[in-house]
Amino acid sequence: MAITVVGSVAYDTIETPAGKRERCLGGAATYFSLSASFFTDVRVIAVVGEDFGKRQEAVFQARNIDTRGIEHTAGRSFFWEGSYLDNLNEAKTHSTELNVFAAFNPKIPDAYRDSEFLFLANIDPVLQRRVSLGLPDVKLIAGDTMNYWIKDHRAALLEVLKGLDILLINDTETKMLAGNNNLVQAARAVMAMGPKALVVKHGEYGATLFYGATPKGKSAGSAFRAPAMPLEEVVDPTGAGDSFAGGFFGYLASQPEQSPAAFRRAMFYGSVMGSFACERFGTERIQKLTRPEIDERFNLFRELTHLA
């Protein structure tokens, strides 16, 4: 079943110990939709500038992603420049140019209105909420956010959280949002804000899914932990979290039922897609992936974590 995703389509200049790339195609909605497209139909809502042309469009087309919701306006696309020279787990931002994104007012194409799944990538929570209200009939809403919105746009973010089924954020964001340094306690506090399930991403250590009620004192009663792949070389971690979200939500949307067992497999597919994203710069690896490669790695992850 189709997912509509709203978020950024952007250009990134990235430097890592493996090298430097100028103006790769990037943005949360790009990584998410490419990743999710291996599992289900994906429709994008975003805004780009005049620097987004046929070559970039072709990247989405190649994966059958619906781009009718990508608005083309005068000016330049969102641009980010960052490096991971000291620490592959944390980007150092050198430059952020909002450009056409500064005036982004998401428009939902009519053709998207029967989407049953909605992903709110990391953008201004006011816009997340607007899209969410514009698609009142979706079956499941997942979303992402970041420290900036948690710190400085809390009220708007809390409105979004109330309507979320699944929130995907990292350890630091979870603890910051809850104001609590214990992950289990913080997860419970965040889920009390609205999300019925919480996926906490641990970077190279995988991710933990908290779901259902977690009775106080019962630590792991409703938790599931997916590993990350121990990688020989991390070329570029940019977009790993969005690729995780795409694999996770894309797989969920592809299933007839969003059962606990489906959530578990979705966590694995999320980790699988996140691990592929790190293997090359930008979206290079995800663009060239095949479904057999994905399933092969899924089996490796099972091998990596299962007793027998």
Binding interface with a second copy (CB under 8 A): 88, 181-185, 187, 202, 204-206, 208, 210, 216-220, 223-225, 227, 229-234, 261, 264-265, 268, 300, 302-308
State the nearest-atom distance from the C-beta of 77 to a second copy, in Å. 33
What is the identity of the amino acid at 233? E
Token reading at 44:
């994008």
Rounded CA-CA distance 136/83 in Å is 39
Nearer to a second copy among residue 108 and residue 231 (C-beta): 231
Nearer to a second copy among residue 233 and residue 257 (C-beta): 233
Nearer to a second copy among residue 234 and residue 273 (C-beta): 234
Torsion, Cα 131 134 136 139, to 10 degrees, reads -40
Chain centroid to Cα 95, Å, comes to 21
Nearer to a second copy among residue 54 and residue 306 (C-beta): 306
State the nearest-atom distance from the C-beta of 84 to a second copy, in Å. 11
Q: What is the DSSP letter of 139?
A: S
Token reading at 103:
């005036």
Angle, to 10 degrees, between the axis of helix 291-305 and the axis of helix 260-277?
110
What is the per-residue DSSP string for 142-179? EEE--HHHHHH-HHHHHHHHHT-SEEEEEHHHHHHHHT
State the nearest-atom distance from the C-beta of 202 to a second copy, in Å. 6
Nearer to a second copy among residue 61 and residue 219 (C-beta): 219
Rounded CA-CA distance 5/243 in Å is 13
State the nearest-atom distance from the C-beta of 255 to a second copy, in Å. 13
Nearer to a second copy among residue 34 and residue 88 (C-beta): 88
State the nearest-atom distance from the C-beta of 246 to a second copy, in Å. 20
State the nearest-atom distance from the C-beta of 44 to a second copy, in Å. 30
